[in-house]
A = this chain, B = another copy of it.
């Protein structure tokens, strides 16, 4: 399978790219608005993998080109770029492609981080609204600490929650998620259930900031 990480030069994109390259044989495409940056980061990922004895070809492209070539497209961009990025690549998405959105809206104040809920209900629903009708949208990977994901020495042992309306697309993303060692995927219902998932991300930051010895936190449902 071909996986594109749009905004794959950023932190969550880096983590997913490295984990999938390390744990699977899927083809990994790094997307960026700047194709040169995408290529540079792709080479960095290859070097990191190579240092661990994994020889992998990771390619960098401009976002639309990466989306065009992939079956599963992960929008690993900041929340405020999510809808723009979908629009920028929309005519490159094919019927049957799966669009995955891990972004969440956060705002910081003196007390800590808070969920900043967009009018669409959630960033996940904002992406679904912006996506072409024949492209299935799945919300996933919202609650993963990027630093821990990108550190291949770090054990995960955490869960990620999936929301979406298309069962086949959910199955695909579940398989992709669980192909990452230490990551368990759990279903949380339809896209309308995304806000509570996205709100968990600022909570993880707040808990990490108030508890010594816990950082880059994830969550396990048990």
Name A's B-contacting residues (CB within 8 A).
109, 111-112, 114-115, 157-158, 161, 186-190, 192-193, 195-197, 199-200, 202-204, 206-207, 209-211, 214, 217-222
Contacts and interface: CB of A to CB of B under 8 A. Distances in A.
The interface residues of chain A, by DSSP majority, are classed as mixed
A189 B206 contact: yes
A221 B192 CA distance: 24
13 contacts: A111-B190, A112-B188, A114-B192, A115-B199, A186-B211, A187-B207, A189-B209, A193-B206, A196-B200, A196-B203, A199-B199, A218-B222, A219-B219
Nearest to A191: B111
A109 B192 contact: yes
Contact of A217 (B206, B210, B222): B222
